[in-house]
Amino acid sequence: AQSVAQPEDQVNVAEGNPLTVKCTYSVSGNPYLFWYVQYPNRGLQFLLKYITGDNLVKGSYGFEAEFNKSQTSFHLKKPSALVSDSALYFCAASYKLSFGAGTTVTVRA
Amino acid sequence: DAGITQSPRHKVTETGTPVTLRCHQTENHRYMYWYRQDPGHGLRLIHYSYGVKDTDKGEVSDGYSVSRSKTEDFLLTLESATSSQTSVYFCAISESGTDYEQYFGPGTRLTVT
């Protein structure tokens, strides 16, 4: 079974609207969780990670993620999306270095 | 950007030929990784290294071998390429352990005909 799941292949939002990219995990213990972003024809870039402590993690480019242990989720959020946020987003867990399948985000002007 | 380069960036090869991809880092990070990226699968770990001459298998290691003779170089070899190994290959590094964030190279697009 996949350790990290991203239930949405695509997310479409209008510029200025809130953006949420969903991620759930199914690993035991207390894994470290990560978000990465991939722009076209580029390698992945690290956005943020959750280790322990505060459930709201702030990262690069105005992104944040909320860790919810009871729901085993680690959703990525941005209060006001930009057209330049259009990219492929990956959630990952330190357990077996598992990556989700990715979510393509399109922000329309 | 982290100092990671991959070579070649693009390669087309025929089924049955050996292929070696190179990852070079200038960050002196201990851990290095090879992934493949395929539509619908995200990234899947092939092999990783936790030090010079120390390597371990990942989720999709069959048909691949690796070597690390120097801290800065991590080689991925396809002994006899197959069409199922057509993919984009990414190298990544992390400072210390799998609990740390990874920094990725630009990728190598490999086509096996």
| pLDDT tens per residue across span B62-104 | 999 999 999 999 999 999 999 999 999 999 999 888 788 999 9
What is residue A1's predicted lDDT score, i.e. its pLDDT? 52
Q: For residue B1, what pLDDT band results from cuts at 50, 70 and 90?
A: low
d(CA A46, CA A38): 9
Q: For residue B106, what pLDDT band results from cuts at 50, 70 and 90?
A: very high
In a mutational test of the A interface, the residue from B4, B88, B102, B103 whose CB has the highest number of chain A CBs within 10 Å is B102
Question: A–B: how many Cβ contacts below 8 A?
Answer: 48
In a mutational test of the B interface, the residue from A8, A99, A103 whose CB has the highest number of chain B CBs within 10 Å is A99
3-class secondary structure per residue, A5-49? ECCCCEEEEECCCCEEECCEECCCCCCCEEEEEECCCCCEEEEEE
Give the lowest-confidence range in B5-14, B33-42, B73-82.
B33-42
